[in-house]
């Protein structure tokens, strides 16, 4: 087994993808590679292990790597090192050298600022530069007998040992690294960096929603409606039962049509975020936002899961494994469902488009409400007294191919949900709205099974009507199903109730997958506690906003 080992953000996953032709997601912050991944390269098994800084684990992802190293037979270690963080990376290298396992170093992000020959001589380890010849160089090393000798002495006193190693590493880097006096304005200008980062994200969403997204929605909606009309006319011309025709048109096609029309916006936002991740910008602004997050008792470590949660709450919750402090981790997990994920984004777009003429200000207000809920909830929870330290990768021109691949993987997963879960729920909704309790077809809505169930459910969701209450309940399976259900049933919302309906949905109990992720990370007790709090908080916030709007207007 060949093991890829290195610091977070060093480029391990990129190399793994190149060697194994894998479609694994590449990111610029620790937490993307949460579990070990195994691939094959010319008959050799290669394992991509989560990033670590030493052989003493602190986070769950580091435990995965250290346990694997200690309990498995590794024939070769490929130590991946970021050339821009050589000093920090060599500490892990010094620890890996103690294992007496053949090792080679792959140097990523190399820009000619390191004397490779001298570094090889000082370490006694073969070094490969990650470039277009990487395959040829790796083949020659894998097929040869690799030996390396530990150039670091081991001192029994752990503190003296650490000081010695870093002193020796400083001596090495002072000899091999050329001076670089470049000062990064994104990190060092605390006022400009915060302003530009916030402005950038507002611009991303404004362009995605108002400029490009609105036109794409209209185009896709017209195509879908034309397709539905064509299929409907075709079914009218052939000998087909009414029940089957109604199922296809009103149960399946209308159930997923609105959700499909939002796909362009999700693609655009996901692609832009992927470009920012690959450029190294996302990691840097996590350090910038550390100062801001500390005002609400969080740290920059929470920014990374929060950003992941804009795609999927489950992904955000899994990413909290990089947070070593348990209280901070539990708090971040609790706050993540308040962030509008891609599924909740469909509800926001639906309400904004249908009731507010695609107003960006209304769209932005939903996010501002979510942010306020996060701020207030975090302030009420325990305080954070921990520092935030991480490696900052150099800025680079992002790879369009990598961004496209990441976008494809994420959108593919989203479409899979539509084809499976959402399609299934849409058919169930059609059955409930088309039949009465005696399974007579073509009954009025007031006599349907759905109305009977909805009248009982609406006693719980007293803020809204029967149809809206049913859609909220179906959203527990998948939040996209809220839009699908309303599209099948129709709605009785005016502009005010539509706004409140959207607020309630983006704050309330998340989908069942998110609830299960909370159970997996926190246990049953916290799962039930958090779920109850989401319901209570969503009610209180919705009522409060209703009162504020009534006072204003």
Query: Can you spell out the DSSP letters for 314-370?
Result: HHHHHHGGG--SHHHHHHHHHHGGGS--HHHHHHHHHHHHHHSTT-HHHHHHHHHHH
- Cα separation, 217 vs 223, whole angstroms: 10
Task: Give, in order, the Cα–Cα distances in Å from 199 to each of 196, 205, 352, 529.
Answer: 5, 10, 21, 36
Q: Is 131 exposed, middle or buried (0-12, 13-18, 19+ CB in 10 A)?
A: exposed
- Cα separation, 473 vs 478, whole angstroms: 10
| Region 236-254 average pLDDT | 81
CATH number at 2-176:
3.40.50.300
φ, ψ of residue 443 to 5 degrees: the values are -80, 160
- DSSP letter for 208, please: I
Give yes or no for a contact between 148 and 127, defined as CB atoms under 8 angstroms apart: no
Question: In the prediction, which pLDDT does 261 show?
Answer: 73
Closest CA to 53 of 7, 106, 121: 7
- DSSP letter for 114, please: B
Which of 28 and 195 is assigned the larger pLDDT? 195
> Which stretch of 67-76, 283-292, 315-324, 336-345 has the lowest confidence by average pLDDT?
283-292
Q: Is the pTM of this model over 0.85?
A: no
Give yes or no for a contact between 483 and 255, defined as CB atoms under 8 angstroms apart: no
With bands split at pLDDT 50, 70 and 90, how would you rate the model's confidence at 188? low
Q: What 3-state class would DSSP assign to 48?
A: strand
Give CB contacts under 8 A, 24+ apart, made by 448-457: 450/489
Ranges of beta strands (E only) in 176-242 are none
| Region 82-99 average pLDDT | 85
Which of 22 and 539 is assigned the larger pLDDT? 539
Buried b (16+ CB within 10 A) or exposed e, 509-525: bbbebbbebbbebbeee
- Cα separation, 126 vs 4, whole angstroms: 15
Residue limits of CATH 3.40.50.300 in the chain = 2-176
């Amino acid at each position: 087994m060949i093991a890829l080992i290195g610091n977070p953000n060093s480029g391990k996953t990129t190399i793994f993808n190149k060697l194994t032709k894998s479609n694994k997601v590449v990111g610029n912050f620790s937490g993307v590679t949460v579990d070990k991944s195994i691939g094959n390269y010319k008959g050799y098994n290669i394992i991509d292990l989560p990033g670590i800084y030493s052989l003493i684990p602190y986070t769950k992802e580091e435990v995965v790597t250290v346990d694997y190293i200690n309990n498995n037979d590794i024939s070769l270690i490929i130590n991946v090192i970021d050339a821009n963080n050589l000093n920090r990376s060599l500490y892990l290298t010094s620890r890996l050298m103690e294992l007496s396992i053949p090792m080679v170093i792959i140097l990523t992000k190399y820009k000619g600022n390191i004397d490779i020959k001298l570094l090889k001589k000082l370490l006694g380890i073969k070094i490969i530069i990650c470039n277009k010849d990487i395959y040829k160089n790796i083949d020659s090393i894998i097929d040869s007998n690799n030996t390396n000798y530990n150039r670091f002495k081991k001192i029994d006193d752990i503190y003296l040992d650490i000081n010695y190693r870093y002193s020796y590493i400083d001596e090495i880097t002072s000899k091999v690294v050329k001076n670089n006096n470049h000062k990064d304005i994104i990190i060092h200008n605390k006022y400009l960096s915060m302003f530009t980062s916030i402005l950038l994200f507002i611009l991303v969403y404004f362009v995605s929603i108002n400029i490009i997204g609105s036109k794409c929605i209209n185009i896709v909606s017209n195509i879908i409606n034309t397709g539905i009309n064509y299929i409907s006319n075709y079914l009218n011309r052939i000998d087909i039962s009414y029940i089957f025709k109604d199922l296809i048109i009103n149960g399946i096609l209308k159930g997923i049509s609105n959700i499909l029309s939002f796909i362009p916006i999700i693609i655009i936002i996901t692609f832009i975020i992927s470009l920012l991740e690959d450029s190294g910008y996302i990691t840097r602004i996590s350090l910038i936002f550390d100062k801001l997050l500390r005002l609400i008792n969080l740290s920059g470590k929470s920014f990374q899961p929060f950003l992941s949660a804009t795609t999927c709450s489950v992904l955000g919750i899994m990413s909290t494994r990089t947070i070593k402090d348990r209280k901070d981790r539990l708090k971040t997990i609790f706050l993540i469902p308040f962030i509008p994920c891609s599924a909740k984004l469909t509800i926001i777009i639906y309400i904004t488009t249908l009731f507010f003429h695609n107003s960006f200000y209304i769209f932005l207000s939903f996010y501002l409400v979510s942010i306020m809920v996060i701020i207030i909830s975090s302030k009420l929870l325990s305080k954070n007294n921990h520092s935030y330290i991480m490696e900052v990768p150099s800025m680079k021109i992002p790879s369009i191919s990598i961004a496209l691949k990441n976008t494809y993987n994420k959108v593919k997963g989203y479409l899979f949900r539509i084809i499976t879960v959402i399609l299934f729920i849409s058919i169930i909704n059609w059955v409930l709205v088309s039949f009465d309790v005696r399974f007579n077809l073509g009954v009025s809505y007031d006599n349907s099974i759905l109305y009977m169930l909805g009248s009982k459910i609406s006693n719980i969701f007293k803020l809204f009507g029967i149809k809206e209450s049913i859609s909220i309940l179906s959203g527990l399976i998948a939040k996209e199903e809220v839009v699908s259900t309303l599209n099948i049933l129709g709605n009785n919302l005016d502009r005010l109730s539509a706004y409140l309906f959207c607020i309630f949905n983006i704050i309330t109990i998340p989908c069942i997958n998110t609830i299960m992720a909370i159970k997996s990370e926190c246990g049953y007790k916290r799962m039930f506690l958090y779920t109850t709090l989401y319901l209570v908080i969503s009610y209180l916030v919705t009522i409060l906003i209703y009162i504020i709007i009534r006072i204003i207007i």
